[in-house]
Structure formats: C-alpha cells, structure tokens
Structure 1
Amino acid sequence: MTNVLEAVSAIIKNFIDEAPKPPLHVGEVMDLWTAFTAFHEAQALYQVGLNTTADQDMVHVLQNALEGSKADTKKIEEFLLKEGVPLPLVNPTKPSSNSDAVPEGVKLKDDEIANLISAKVATSITFCAQAMSKTVRTDVGLMFFSIQINLMKFAAPLKNIMISRGWLRIPPKYNPPGLPEKR
C-alpha cells in the first residue's frame, strides 16, 4: 500500500509539473464554459439579493460573494482568452436598487437568499471537484482547485449565519429499515 506522504508528494508533483501543456480538450473547455456561465448567473443572484435585503449581515455576505465570484470569473475569462477560446454569452449585470422599492411578492426573503446561495455554492464546489478530476492540464486543475477553495472559504461563514438565524434547511433524519430502535 502506498504511503500517505508518497501519495501527497505524487499529487503535488503532478500539479507543479512543468511539462509542455497539451491543447485543452473538449471536456476542459466545456467545464470552463459551464463555470464561467454559472458564476455569471451566481453574480446575478448576488445582485438581486443585494437589491432585496436590508439585513446588514446578508449585505456583507452578498458583497463578499459577488467580489469572490467576479475574481474567479475573471481568472476563467483571462485563461479562456489566452487559450483562444471564445467566451460564452452571459447576461448583463443587474442595476442597483433600493430594497424598499422592491414590492412584496417579488422580493426574496433573507432565508430564501441564503438558501439559494448555499445551494449554488454547494453545487459549484462539487462541480469544481468533478471538473478537476477530468482535466488533463495541470493549470486547469489548479484553477478549479483554487476556485473550490475560495468557495469553501465563503461557505463556512454563510453556514454559520444560516444556523444562527434558523435559516438552514435540514432534511429529516433517515432511519434505514432494520436499524435497531434506540431506547
């Protein structure tokens, strides 16, 4: 069985390998396109949230999310353009508005905003891991790894706010058939 340190060493060596880079394969381009598009959609969600919340903690969370998403999207954009890949079409940014001007029924509640963001971030973390596992190019894998780390750093404080406010939606406990009853 391989020693843990040998395994970690092999992984790190793979990521810092200076071998010539092969052209991007179609899966890498598709994953980069998908991430670029999804992150732009997330930015629209963050902007809508900023336009509808008056909660200062949520404003802070949304501003951090928007900033981080823009930085990650810019990395992908620059990489795609450097590789000669045209960018996918994305929606324009949302204009700023006053949360008091948004009518009820249209306005998202703070718990809805938090849960939408939480689901989007969880999906993005999983997507980055999946994309990283398929890539042949070390630089693409490192980019997805870096984005995944940024998402995880953002997810922890969001989860803490959701727990403290009672917004975290937890599924019911699962009791598999045949599980002994607890007394």
Structure 2
Amino acid sequence: MGILNGNPKDEPLHYGEIYHIWMYSATEKSSISTYQLYLSHAGDHDLKRLLNNLIKQARQAAAECDELLVHNGIMPPPSLPERPSVSLEEIPIGARFSDVEIMVGVAKDLAAGMVACSQITGSSIRIDVGLLFSKYYALILASNATALSLSKEKGWIVPPPLQIQRPEH
C-alpha cells in the first residue's frame, strides 16, 4: 500500500495544503475580529444577523483548520483578541461605518473566500482536505446569496452599468 492510499487522515499533507490551511485559519480569525467590529457599527437588524452567522461560520472553520494542523504536527496561527461590544451610539458619526460600507466589505470577503476555497480544493491531494474546503465553499455561497438578497432588498447594491437596451434577435 502506498503512502497516499488508505485513510486520508493518515496521509501526509503536502506543503501547499499546510500553507493554505494555515492561511485560511488566519484569515478566518481575522474575519471574526473584523465582523465583530462591523457588528458594533451595523444599524440594520438583518445585517447584524448575517454578521453573527458569518462569525459563527468563521469560528467553526478556524477551529476545524486548527484541529487539522495540530493533528499533523503544525502550530496553528494565533487568534486575535475578542473585540468588546460597543453600542452604535457610542461611535462618533464621522467614525462609523455605514451599513452599505459594511455590506461592501462583507461581499468582498465572501467573493475572496469562494476563490480561496476553490483553489484549495483544486490543489489538494488529500480527499478530506478537498471535501472540507468544498464544504466551506458551499457555506460561503449560501452566505453570499443571503448578502446579495439583503443588498437588493435594502437598496444597498450599487450595480455595474446595466444593459438597458438589448439588441433584438
């Protein structure tokens, strides 16, 4: 039996997998901190619910990636300190992020997350790693659909130029 046959959890990670898992964990930990900051600035209830869901997903992904790293003898990246909860009224008006700005940041993060998960899934030779990042891709895709629907509903989306007149066929 070869080194890459059998239980995927017993197979070695290649250096690319190690790097990507480590960086994904670090990115998710950074996202937790950023989304906690956004929560203090958000005024919209639906946006706060989305941010809380994204924090929950990021915590789960970071924990799973860290567990995978530790199981393979790799020290995971450090977590950032928890941000304190702050009331929106305590933040000066000129220093606040608007709900639109928060949603643009979230949309950018979700798009980058889908690209990262696709790249990691495609470059993995361990089946369990590929499946783990396929799961993250699916979660991000669902969150992206929620964010897009929310942006359209609230009038926060700034669309690129739209094709108003279409050629007749």
**Which residue of the partner structure matches residue 136 of structure 2?**
147
**Which residue of the partner structure matches residue 169 of structure 1?**
158
* One-letter amino acid of the counterpart of residue 39, structure 2: L
Q: Kindly provide the CA deviation profile for residues 41-83 of structure 1, in whole angstroms up to 9, marking residues without a partner as x.
A: 1111210111111211111111111111111111111111111
Q: Please, which of 41, 61, 68 is the counterpart of residue 79 of structure 1?
A: 68
Alignment of 1:1-150 (within 5 A): 18-19=6-7, 21-150=10-139
**Which residue of the partner structure matches residue 156 of structure 1?**
145
Q: 2:22 touches 2:66 (CA, 8 Å); kept in 1?
A: no
Distance 1:165 1:126 in 2: 26
Distance 2:161 2:96 in 1: 28
* One-letter amino acid of the counterpart of residue 80, structure 1: L
Distance 1:39 1:19 in 2: 27
Count of aligned residue pairs for this structure pair: 161
Distance 2:54 2:29 in 1: 12
SS at match of 1:94: coil
Distance 2:27 2:131 in 1: 19
Q: Kindly provide the CA deviation profile for residues 10-62 of structure 1, in whole angstroms up to 9, marking residues without a partner as x.
A: xxxxxxx8455431111001101111111111111210111111211111111
Distance 1:57 1:160 in 2: 11
Q: CA RMSD in A?
A: 1.8
Distance 2:159 2:20 in 1: 30
SS at match of 2:95: coil
1:157 Cα deviation from its structure 2 partner: 1.1
* One-letter amino acid of the counterpart of residue 82, structure 1: H
Q: 2:122 touches 2:130 (CA, 8 Å); kept in 1?
A: yes
SS at match of 1:105: helix
The structure having more radius of gyration, on CA atoms, is: 1
Distance 2:158 2:146 in 1: 16
Distance 1:85 1:41 in 2: 19
Q: Structure 1: give runs of 5+ residues left out of the alignment.
A: 1-16, 175-180
